[in-house]
Amino acid sequence: MTIDFNVSAFMAGAVFYMIYGGIYYSLLLGKKDQERTGPVKYVVAVLVAFISSALVGVLVHATNSGGFASGALIGGLVGFLISIVYFKNTLFGLMTKRMFLIAVGDHLIVFTLLGALHGWFL
């Protein structure tokens, strides 16, 4: 079994994820985390961007969800699944309501857009 994979979409999705995350979290959190800034979290963030783009790309290709809307649906479903995990954690007091809303907003938007991007490239 082979997995069809578009390297251009993979790279574009990873770069998009990093730019989007930088803007999203900078706007919402501002300078709150400057005292704990270290290189490790940025390396992990880059790895997460590449892994996320790759997995969404594989899902979009595996479901043959070519096109902007079909890809967005697949990405949106991924964002929704991640969001319900955060919701469960919030119910058990592991996250504040504000952090829940920030995380859910991020994941719903970025995964929907990643899916749309991969669908567009398909």
Model confidence band, residue 26 (pLDDT cutoffs 50, 70, 90)? confident
Mean confidence (pLDDT) of the chain: 90
| pLDDT digits 0-9 by tens, 55-91 | 999 999 999 999 999 999 999 999 999 999 999 999 9
The mean-pLDDT minimum among 13-17, 37-41, 91-95 falls in 37-41
Residue 3 phi, psi (nearest 5): -110, 120
For residues 76 and 107, give the distance between their C-alpha atoms in angstroms, rounded to a whole number.
Answer: 9
Model confidence band, residue 28 (pLDDT cutoffs 50, 70, 90)? confident
Residues 6+ apart with CB under 8 A from 80: 108
